[in-house]
Amino acid sequence: MIFTETLLDFFLATRKHTESLCAPLQTEDYVVQPIEDVSPPKWHLGHTTWFFEEFILKPYAPSYRVFHQDFSFVFNSYYEAVGRRVVRAERGNLSRPSVQLVYEYREYVTKAIKALFENRQGAPELQSLLEIGIHHEKQHQELLLTDIKYILGNNPLLPSYSDRTDEHQAEDQAPGWIRMDEGIYAIGHDADSFCYDNERQRHKVYLNSFEVSSRLVTNGEYLEFMQNDGYKRFEHWHAEGWDWVQRQQVNAPLYWYLIEGEWHHYTLHGLELVSPDAPLAHLSYYEAFAYAQWKGCRLPTEFEWEAAQEHFPWGKRWEWTESAYLPYPGYTRAEGALGEYNGKFMVNQKVLRGGSVATPTHHTRPTYRNFFHPHLRWQYTGLRLAR
Amino acid sequence: MIFTETLLDFFLATRKHTESLCAPLQTEDYVVQPIEDVSPPKWHLGHTTWFFEEFILKPYAPSYRVFHQDFSFVFNSYYEAVGRRVVRAERGNLSRPSVQLVYEYREYVTKAIKALFENRQGAPELQSLLEIGIHHEKQHQELLLTDIKYILGNNPLLPSYSDRTDEHQAEDQAPGWIRMDEGIYAIGHDADSFCYDNERQRHKVYLNSFEVSSRLVTNGEYLEFMQNDGYKRFEHWHAEGWDWVQRQQVNAPLYWYLIEGEWHHYTLHGLELVSPDAPLAHLSYYEAFAYAQWKGCRLPTEFEWEAAQEHFPWGKRWEWTESAYLPYPGYTRAEGALGEYNGKFMVNQKVLRGGSVATPTHHTRPTYRNFFHPHLRWQYTGLRLAR
Amino acid sequence: MIFTETLLDFFLATRKHTESLCAPLQTEDYVVQPIEDVSPPKWHLGHTTWFFEEFILKPYAPSYRVFHQDFSFVFNSYYEAVGRRVVRAERGNLSRPSVQLVYEYREYVTKAIKALFENRQGAPELQSLLEIGIHHEKQHQELLLTDIKYILGNNPLLPSYSDRTDEHQAEDQAPGWIRMDEGIYAIGHDADSFCYDNERQRHKVYLNSFEVSSRLVTNGEYLEFMQNDGYKRFEHWHAEGWDWVQRQQVNAPLYWYLIEGEWHHYTLHGLELVSPDAPLAHLSYYEAFAYAQWKGCRLPTEFEWEAAQEHFPWGKRWEWTESAYLPYPGYTRAEGALGEYNGKFMVNQKVLRGGSVATPTHHTRPTYRNFFHPHLRWQYTGLRLAR
Amino acid sequence: MIFTETLLDFFLATRKHTESLCAPLQTEDYVVQPIEDVSPPKWHLGHTTWFFEEFILKPYAPSYRVFHQDFSFVFNSYYEAVGRRVVRAERGNLSRPSVQLVYEYREYVTKAIKALFENRQGAPELQSLLEIGIHHEKQHQELLLTDIKYILGNNPLLPSYSDRTDEHQAEDQAPGWIRMDEGIYAIGHDADSFCYDNERQRHKVYLNSFEVSSRLVTNGEYLEFMQNDGYKRFEHWHAEGWDWVQRQQVNAPLYWYLIEGEWHHYTLHGLELVSPDAPLAHLSYYEAFAYAQWKGCRLPTEFEWEAAQEHFPWGKRWEWTESAYLPYPGYTRAEGALGEYNGKFMVNQKVLRGGSVATPTHHTRPTYRNFFHPHLRWQYTGLRLAR
């Protein structure tokens, strides 16, 4: 456990970083929700704040008065235990509370947390809740950036977000295969440091020998698949994936546009030529699978990935794995509303491993398990081959 | 035809009035689109401006340079002849162009129109186009206000728009029936003044004798229908209306809430008690029909309404009529894109007559024909009985 | 009023004719429902029988015992007053009651009606109910034939129904325009003979002078519209019609197939070449309107049609009119469940006049008003131009 | 490999058994498709026949003439490699080919297969194809029975199928827990006998120690969950499961009806009282999971199930497992159309183990992997607890 003082610094730095991510936005950008999976930035700002109010200030700060009685309703996400909430698909229909008021809410709660933790040098339970809240906000930082990218990238004017330069950098790594031996591997988190409940219960897994690529698949490699009629030949695809391709008329990764014969993609700088050497991003699981099938390979399982990961310079893309998102042996949900954090999503989702250019520093670790539905691709999702 | 100077003044006053309607808004309120029928205020500001740019400045102002090449795409509404456009349901997904930029666009176009009409004292054709553009903007003023009401009234915080006080005023008129004789009546516009193509071709209509109420139906009268299980007895309803009630679980007019046993409604001031004497508003055609059926009466046709209207103090509500929106004998569409203005909507819509508290001054006239799909109720729609 | 004996003969002949229409079917053809608007033939057989059981035998035949307690639930169509019913879209999901049992039901009810009317030489009220029941069954004969056509014509094997030969016969009439003078015309039914409530209340209508074509539009004339990019040019269409064309990818009338460069259509004989001289059929109102618009003409209103009809050799097609389906002045619904027959459909539908090859003998008359939603085209719907 | 003579007998017996399952049906029962997942019995009869025609007779019987040129289109299910097909949801809209013709098709193909295998005493490749075809038909026998149950059980008349008596028999097994030790287990098929590609590649899996119930959960046990507000408390459910319960208004297993305070269910005999001691059936995975969660237990994984199965008297219910349907290490698809058999469904489905009262004799084995989407429950799906 980190000492309280450090934890409070960590909290304050995290709060500040969230706001710095929004600095380049115009007020209007905070409001819209072009698809249900993407939340308005304003909502992220409020929701991460509500989390501290609801789970720490309300129960533990006796003199705390809630900032606004309706914000619990507006900024609750999916915590059924905590009461009614704005349906997810309706978040983009709300012009109020204003961005200004949400920032005031943030400041109000940040100050109250600061006061609480300065006064009360920390029951471990409270510290643990604060730590969860910080990590919760870090998760939302990642979503915030990818949601901003979607909001701007979905706009016909294709505006630039900022001059960040590390979004589509090639890997240094030479291509090659890492060979892993058959045997028993330990999977899951066992250190003293923070992790989510879905990573816990380090346990043994038996793996057959396998090989995994030392590098992520690049844009150039994926272009070969496209030029090879990859999106037109059903035999590479799952039945559901093929359906998705047909119905959505998908013929390239998200944000890709063919302009006068050359593939461009929308980036945080605006529209740019696709760089063949950069790692591929914005792929659905269906596309990742089809590409691997076409190459005569497959995706690694999350266990293979975790066993081999020390050989990767990972961290640029979330990588789709073959594994469904399921509980580890011995998994148990927390009691109460926080028990809804992970367990209730363990069906029909695929595990992603790694971490992307949108992931905040120190928020990834080898045991971290992200998860999304197979058709989603607004995260920086890529892939690595196994065989 | 009005002299150019006056027309230009009319233009400038109209532009200004649109902006004054938006004065109470916060930036965020300009952006959202809670249902497809409601457009973001920002879009209304841009679209009414684009109309002048597209139909007057581009063809008639030789040195005019368009403000932004993509705005034609962003702010076109339904003019298929003019090219691609943002699909209506997607208007609320666009954070850019910013509100600030849209206001700059307005100013730029207003100035260019001013310059054009000051220099060129007016070919009749140009004057006629300007007049259409002004009336087009006036129509949007009405939508702007009802859309703003929906945006705020759909927000769980139910914010107030302003302190306007004329939204739910009782009529002075005593209740009673106006008797009209059987015979031939002339219907439609024939004066020299402005009207839309759908009002033209004054023609004869044979009417049987009928009676029409001197007053609009009030909230209190409608409450009796509600208390009489009006929403639970299929025999008052059209089959489609009954379906709509069941599927949408409708049990009161739009914006009405039963709070601790008393009916409130959202108004431009915020939540208020329903006043029994004020004219009813925010009703679908289905509800208007069911109420009339329950009273053993019916709705007037648009011809009956027009024949009898000189006896009404109308102007507080748009009134649903029994008439379907169809062309008058001899109706012809204009050539080109402006021909899309009215004719192509003449199917599956009901005619409304009158004008509401949202209607700008001088924008209604006895021959004016408004039209909406029968399930819509975000306009200030009410009803008057006939028999 | 017809004497009871004749009425009973009329009843028996009608019952028999319904069954003769089904004679060419295989058992399986009685069961399916390829789209919601098309009912399984088995259902028509049962529903027309239930009508007599529900409205005559139950209330007026004291010793009558219902054939099967659940048939009221299974064969009720839309009479909300009579209780629960199988949802329309679910009719094709029911394999039971078997076709055999439905025929036994028919015989049982036919005999009971016969017995009732032989014994009781006729209170006028009972006779009137029987007459309505007969006309109700005749209406269903028309639907039965068009539903059978859809069921077989939707099957990839395109089986033939029978060797009837009068489905696509050319009109004798020479093309030309019938000129009608301006003035007051009487519209509606006033004779002593049977008609529906929606035809009653003969009343005056003022018509401007107009011309109406002496002939229905032919396949060959419509092919010119198609060859002229009629389905690709939005300016001919209502906005809703254009939407419908785009979404459903419509490019020809229903049942038309382009095979090796030649237009064929499915007929009751199976697939055949389209004959250019035969009157066009299986058109939506949207298509009828677009064709007329392209020709620089329009559709007649139902009043124009009725005023001019004595000059037509009508009876081969149902003809789309420009008129919306609305009550005549003075229209009142019958009391009770039979009041649901017509009035509750008077919104969002278009009036058709005439009668088609599927219409039973003596079931059409100049005042008959049929009505369908504008997108439907599985009836033998055609058009006649006016200007 | 079984000798040809025996294999041919096996083939003939399988064909006959399929037909005997249909013996109690009326012609109409063969035709309908009340939900997309349920196919018309007629289609099963045709599709299993087409499989032999397409994959054996066409390529290997030189003088074979196809029975009907359009049947490949009508009876193909999902084999994209083989060409166009009737969309799954449209199967119930086809009245033709008639049941009679489908039986003729069966006989024609059965005879042709017989002739082929009598003449040609068996290249191993041909034998292997025949074996797959037989197992394919056995799989469809299971679906045929559950589809028939759905067709009849969805009918408001709730007709009985037959007097089979083994559908809801209690297990002899005493309740209790089977304890399994931690360690490496071998999973998958390695014998010489028939299995599907998805069972192959016997491989090692590391399991933690666990306990699994010796018995299936019974109706009576599940009733306790229901009486404990199991369907009303979100904390037992996956988020998707809770959504499903809300949207579909689920409050009991499929086919259960509360009649005058007592739970009945539709069985192949018709409506019966629910027997508390019989194993539960017709549950979705969501419900199985929620029940286990409520009991403080979980579902076994498919590996745990396979490791422990020799201690179960299994075979009465398909049992939901916690495992997602994924390829075993080293899994490869077959070449060509048969490669579509299993692999392309390996996403978003849950593995079921065991076998049900609908499963044909000798069609289950300890390594057999069935799979369905988590919301489906028209199979005889039940559950067994683990912890």
Closest CA to A320 of A366, A248, A359, A370: A370
Put simply, the answer to whether B96 touches A30 (Cβ < 8 Å) is no
Q: Which chains touch A (3 or more CB pairs under 8 A)?
A: B, D
Q: Strand, helix or coil at A288?
A: helix
Q: What ipTM was reported for this prediction?
A: 0.94
The separation between CA D262 and the C-alpha centre of its own chain, rounded to angstroms, equals 30
CB pair distance less than 8 Å for B96 and A155:
yes
Look at residues B14, B94, B9, B6 and name the one whose alpha carbon lies nearest to residue B49: B14
The mean pLDDT value for A101-130 works out to 91
CB D218 within 8 A of CB D384: no
| Distance in Å, alpha carbon of D154 to nearest chain C alpha carbon | 8
The CB density around residue A87, as the number of other CB atoms within 10 Å, is 9
Whether B206 and C205 lie within 8 Å, measured CB to CB: yes
Cross-chain Cβ contact D26/C96 below 8 Å? yes
The answer on pLDDT for C1 being more than 50 is: no
Positions of chain D with pLDDT lower than 70, given as ranges? 1-5, 78, 120-122, 164-165
Q: Where are the beta strands (DSSP E) in chain C?
A: 177-180, 183-187, 203-207, 210-213, 256-259, 262-267, 270-273, 318-324, 350-354, 370-372, 381-382
Contact yes or no for D238 and A346 at CB 8 A: yes
- Pairwise CB contact (< 8 Å): D96 & C32: no
Distance CA A148, CA C176 (A): 65
- Which residues in chain D touch residue A347, judged by CB atoms under 8 angstroms apart? 238, 240-241, 285-286, 289, 350, 374
Statement: residue C223 has pLDDT above 80:
yes
- Answer whether B326 sits within 8 Å of C324, measured CB to CB: yes
Q: Enumerate the residues of chain C whose CB falls inside 8 A of the CB of residue B205.
A: 206
Taking residues A273-292, report their average pLDDT.
97
pLDDT at A20 over 80: yes
For residue A327, the chain D residue with the least C-alpha distance is D322
Per-residue pLDDT band at A1 (split at 50, 70, 90): very low
CB contact under 8 A, D93 and C159: no
| Per-residue pLDDT reduced to its tens digit, A146-190 | 999 999 999 999 999 998 667 888 888 888 999 999 999 999 999
CB contact under 8 A, A28 and B92: no
| B77-125 tens-digit pLDDT | 767 777 777 888 899 999 999 999 999 999 999 999 999 998 766 688 8
Q: Is C94 on the interface with D (CB under 8 A)?
A: yes
Q: In 3D, which of C21, C60, C233 has the Cα closest to residue C148?
A: C21
Q: What is the pLDDT of residue D4?
A: 57
Could you give the strand order of the β-sheet that contains C262-267, starting from the edge strand earlier in sequence?
C256-259, C262-267, C270-273
The answer to whether the CB atoms of B348 and C344 lie below 8 A apart is no
- The predicted model gives A69-96 an average pLDDT of 85
Exposed (0-12), middle (13-18) or buried (19+): which is D213, by Cβ within 10 Å?
buried
Q: Do B324 and C329 touch (CB under 8 A)?
A: no
Place of tokens 């849209």: B102
C348 and B345 within 8 Å at the Cβ level: the answer is no
Contact of C353 with C265, CB cutoff 8 Å: no
Least confident of A159-163, B358-362, C164-168: C164-168
Q: The whole model's pTM is what?
A: 0.95
| Contact flag for D and A (3+ C-beta pairs < 8 Å) | yes
D205 touches chain A (CB under 8 A): yes
C90 vs D contacts (CB less than 8 Å): 34
pLDDT greater than 90 at residue C354: yes
Phi, then psi, of C73 in degrees rounded to 5: -65, -40
- Yes or no, beta carbons of B206 and C208 under 8 Å apart: no
Nearest to A240 among D237, D286, D348 (CB): D348
Does B41 lie at the interface with A, CB-CB under 8 angstroms?
Answer: no
Give all strands of the β-sheet with A256-259 in edge-to-edge order.
Answer: A256-259, A262-267, A270-273
> In angstroms, what separates the C-alpha of A91 from chain B's closest C-alpha?
10
Contact A217, A384 (CB under 8 A): yes
Contact call for D32 and C31, based on CB within 8 A: yes
CB proximity D209 to A under 8 Å: no
Nearest to D322 among A208, A326, A348 (CB): A326
Contact status of D59 with chain A (Cβ, < 8 Å): no
D157 at A interface, C-beta within 8 A: no
How far apart are the two ends of chain A, measured CA to CA in Å?
40
The answer on pLDDT for B59 being more than 60 is yes
User: Which of D70, D95, D152 has the CB atom closest to C32's CB atom?
Assistant: D95
Backbone angles phi, psi at C74, to 5 degrees: -75, -35
pLDDT digits (tens, 9 = 90+) for B187-232: 999 888 999 999 999 999 999 999 999 999 999 999 999 999 999 9
**Higher-confidence residue: A128 or A3?**
A128
Residue C337: is its pLDDT beyond 80?
A: no
pLDDT attached to residue B231 = 98
Q: Which residues of B touch A154 (CB under 8 A)?
A: 93
C160 touches chain D (CB under 8 A): no
Q: Answer whether B203 sits within 8 Å of C208, measured CB to CB.
A: yes
Chain B residues in contact with A29 (beta carbon < 8 A): 95-96
**Is D327 an interface residue toward A (CB < 8 Å)?**
yes
Q: Which of A347, A356, A354 has the alpha carbon at shortest distance from A368?
A: A354
Q: Is the pLDDT of residue C16 over 80?
A: yes
Mean pLDDT of chain A: 93
Note the pLDDT of residue A174.
Answer: 84
- Tell me what pLDDT residue A332 has: 83
Q: C205 to chain B nearest CA, in Å?
A: 5
Q: Do D74 and C156 touch (CB under 8 A)?
A: yes
Q: Highest mean pLDDT range out of A117-131, C24-38, C309-323, D321-335?
A: C24-38
Q: Is any Cβ of chain C less than 8 angstroms from the Cβ of B366?
A: no
Whether the CB-CB separation of C166 and C315 falls below 8 Å is answered with no
Q: CB-CB: which of C205, C238, C326 is closest to B322?
A: C326
C46 against A342, higher pLDDT: C46
The answer to whether A157 touches B96, Cβ cutoff 8 Å, is yes
Mean pLDDT of chain B: 93
- Option in B81, B286, B347 nearest C240 (CB): B347
